[in-house]
Structure 1
């Protein structure tokens, strides 16, 4: 029987789960097919995670305009003005007065809605943080594959349910609950990849992971643009996320559990969340969390407000209906490239130098993007693409560095906690962005430029991080704790 078929047969055969296979029975070491299957499963789970994130980023403003009672009437008035502009444009009649009214009304709506958008983003970040810790613990307790399937089902179902929202609180609640799965997919996908492929491929794997979510953003931007052009509203566009997310289960269901995880469980190492702050892991956990905060707050607190800012400056112009999708699509192209290059960059020039380079260039590119563009143009699209390359590189860099901080038995918990505590802190920062936008009278430009300064803080944080030498830690690198037993 072919080795691949024999391994599949073993996976579905009846056996005692309490008995670990012998150490030499490593299907991933002897079968490139299963290594590729695990890689495909991890990338699909994380890419479709990116689709859900992208859908929300693009459609939250439209959804909230319909779901907030106090704003709904103004949103209807704005749509009527747009219809008048379209009719007059078709009849070659002047539209100057309508365009002025449209811009004034849109800016008033933006000033009112900014705090709601901030809350929606913050709830997503906090849900993802909780999910990262929860599913990270499940991953260290029950393996990488089954918890990953549960995470995918969670984010898919609640994304689908959010399309049925009738009030803004429903949307925010579904976003929080769906984010539990979105946050859980990250540490489990990374653990699945790094434990099934040789170490020499980790730079490329980190790059693929960094690009994965951004490919998802690109998919979301592309189909949102296509569906919007055909008259589908935000409910249909968000609802598609359910079917996209669930489709990844067709691959994940056939992935065997990683041999490294099974051997770690055989040693019966007790893993407790408080161990992350014990003497061996405290420095790694604190600095890993701060580095993640810099990357996440810089992205969610500044760069990912770009689509909303473009909506504002394109209001009442010929680009009003297409600007947001266009900038989102080109921004996603840049993010795909940057996400892949981030992991490679860390391997090429080293952890600290690559991080400092990314922080300096991310700050410069984001500030320039918002400062130099007060109208929508091709130049803004090019600058959005460039900033996307740099900002997204952090999310190729982190999958390369964070797994190096922890040994196998606590890796999913450690990297999940570090990355997702960054989401908690970033959530508070995003609320600050909304407050700043409101304080500046609905001006996203100024609020975002202030928040981009977090990248400058990152220049200092990296020097407190452990020097991993670019190598993974194994359970053999640290002694067994006295009294450790079965969990």
Structure 2
């Protein structure tokens, strides 16, 4: 195969060498790409980024079934976000209802985030082994039932127990949702669709805030918001039953036929972790920063406006809605731009601009000013997040595209789980004088300093990390576990084993970048 592109040095090996090469590549507009020709030979070359295409034409590339998978994944992720934020935006109500401090109430957020990683491992691996459909159905229906159980929690201890169990099932949604939604997308449309998909999280926040605004500020009104969340989650689960399994999973299952042994799949999981442990650690570290980023900048923002800025429930909720509307817009736009600008560059620029906006975010007074500043900082916070679904999918080992993003994301969630609790604990111990001359918890300074530190961590971690933009999901072959099962159960001779190993390695490296 001939090419007109300029040849490049091979991908670096080793942690320090890879970090050095990644940093240097950040300042080169062309992209380092590993290309495999028809003969199986590989070489590395510089390729110019593909030009941005009309987003309407990109979305038109998805067929009816592709859109079906995408929309179901988006709805599942939106319902998941609604269920989580139904608690965070009503912290003040719940504190009054259970006669506890706001820091005590955020313990439930910590427990939820802590146990999401366990759910991600269980349901993510189930998604890779049994398919995307039924693990998601179970997840969504149980989540709805747990929302109802939260409503009937009479004591604070019961409330914490239910929210802990809620986190276990909540963790299984993300990996299966993004795998189902994005693995069916054409390569050049993934940046745009990734940005739209990730904003299901912000959209869930917007719907939860609208529900909170609709029910008013009375203490018992939090229950109505949870009833709405229960209906959405159960509804998505029932709708998912009506639609087919993921095309990629069906084709992989057909290729393997007998690959149903749980022992084989766990063997391959351990093999993947042994081979890809550095990538796993990097992605967990990156997602720890990102989860601190979102939860620190949003979970206590409504409380900040109610206490430090003296807003009533209605204007504070309206400001929160506009804040997350900015997140929806920013995530979609920057996810789309990452297709041309590069995944890492898009993340770094977004994090830098969000840090620059921190003073304008916490210093203004009044609903209008807080709405505008909240809109723009979340535009860039969730703009960086809009790149994450496709970035994690492209970095994932081929056979674990359901479990790898979910597990790394939720382990990052687990490590960052005390974020809201930390913000509340620090803020309630430090008082600042408000514009009305009253002393109030220092939510603004606490969130501002924490967000600045976190944005800096994201910039540094991303600058020295890998990127595999443009990876061809459809060319990675069936899951490794399928090939391994076929080897064990049917018996290959040595030459066949070597041929299959070479084919899988070629598929993994095709069209991947540094």
Whether TM-score is above 0.5 comes out as yes
Please, which moves more after superposition, 438-447 or 411-420?
438-447
Q: 2:478 & 2:277 partners in 1: Cα distance?
A: 16
Are positions 1:338 and 2:330 aligned together? yes
Q: Structure 1 residue 61: deviation in Å?
A: 2.4
Are positions 1:174 and 2:162 aligned together? yes
Structure 1 residues 485 and 196 mapped into 2: Cα distance closer, same or farther (>3 Å)? farther
Q: 1:432 & 1:383 partners in 2: Cα distance?
A: 23
Task: Tell me which residue corresponds to 2:95.
Answer: 64
State which of 124, 127, 149 in structure 1 corresponds to 2:112.
124
State which of 274, 299, 313 in structure 2 corresponds to 1:278.
274
State which of 199, 221, 227 in structure 1 corresponds to 2:187.
199
Per the normalisation by structure 1, the TM-score is: 0.77
Structure 1 residues 339 and 160 mapped into 2: Cα distance closer, same or farther (>3 Å)? farther
Task: Tell me which residue corresponds to 2:307.
Answer: 312
Q: Structure 1 residue 459: deviation in Å?
A: 1.2
Structure 1 residues 130 and 366 mapped into 2: Cα distance closer, same or farther (>3 Å)? farther
Q: 1:208 & 1:135 partners in 2: Cα distance?
A: 23
Q: 1:365 & 1:166 partners in 2: Cα distance?
A: 42
Are positions 1:425 and 2:420 aligned together? no
CA distances 1:101-122 after superposition (whole Å, capped 9, x unpaired): xxxxxxxxxxxx2431432221
Are positions 1:54 and 2:85 aligned together? yes
What is the RMSD of the two structures over their aligned residues, measured on CA atoms? 2.6
Q: 1:304 & 1:120 partners in 2: Cα distance?
A: 12
CA distances 1:339-385 after superposition (whole Å, capped 9, x unpaired): 22232132121122111112212222245312x13x43411110011
Are positions 1:294 and 2:276 aligned together? no
Are positions 1:45 and 2:76 aligned together? yes
CA distances 1:60-113 after superposition (whole Å, capped 9, x unpaired): 321122113xx4xxxxxxxxxxxxxxxxxxxxxxxxxxxxxxxxxxxxxxxxx2
Per the normalisation by structure 2, the TM-score is: 0.73
Task: Tell me which residue corresponds to 1:77.
Answer: none
Q: Would you say the 8 A contact 2:98–2:156 is kept in 1?
A: yes
Task: Tell me which residue corresponds to 2:502.
Answer: none
Counterparts of 1:452-467 in structure 2, within 5 Å, are: 452=451, 453-467=453-467
Q: For 2:308, what is the secondary structure of its paired residue?
A: helix
Are positions 1:448 and 2:438 aligned together? no
Task: Tell me which residue corresponds to 1:356.
Answer: 348
Q: Structure 1 residue 336: deviation in Å?
A: 1.3
Q: Would you say the 8 A contact 1:303–1:366 is kept in 2?
A: no
Q: Would you say the 8 A contact 1:129–1:424 is kept in 2?
A: yes
Q: For 2:470, what is the secondary structure of its paired residue?
A: coil
Q: Structure 1 residue 411: deviation in Å?
A: 1.1
State which of 242, 250, 253 in structure 1 corresponds to 2:230.
242
State which of 235, 242, 247 in structure 2 corresponds to 1:254.
242
Q: Structure 1 residue 308: deviation in Å?
A: 0.9
Task: Tell me which residue corresponds to 2:24.
Answer: none
Task: Tell me which residue corresponds to 1:414.
Answer: 404
Q: 1:431 & 1:313 partners in 2: Cα distance?
A: 17
Q: 1:485 & 1:62 partners in 2: Cα distance?
A: 58
Q: Structure 1 residue 31: deviation in Å?
A: 9.9
Q: Structure 1 residue 479: deviation in Å?
A: 7.9
Task: Tell me which residue corresponds to 2:8.
Answer: none
Q: Would you say the 8 A contact 1:49–1:245 is kept in 2?
A: yes
Q: Structure 1 residue 467: deviation in Å?
A: 2.6
Q: Structure 1 unaligned runs (5+)?
A: 1-29, 72-112
Are positions 1:386 and 2:376 aligned together? yes
Please, which moves more after superposition, 472-481 or 56-65?
472-481
Q: Structure 1 residue 222: deviation in Å?
A: 1.2
Q: 2:111 & 2:404 partners in 1: Cα distance?
A: 22
- The structure that is helix-richer by fraction is 1
Task: Tell me which residue corresponds to 2:28.
Answer: none
Are positions 1:135 and 2:123 aligned together? yes
Q: 1:393 & 1:275 partners in 2: Cα distance?
A: 34
Q: Structure 1 residue 136: deviation in Å?
A: 0.5
Please, which moves more after superposition, 191-200 or 322-331?
191-200
Task: Tell me which residue corresponds to 2:50.
Answer: none
CA distances 1:240-274 after superposition (whole Å, capped 9, x unpaired): 21112111134311221123113334434735543
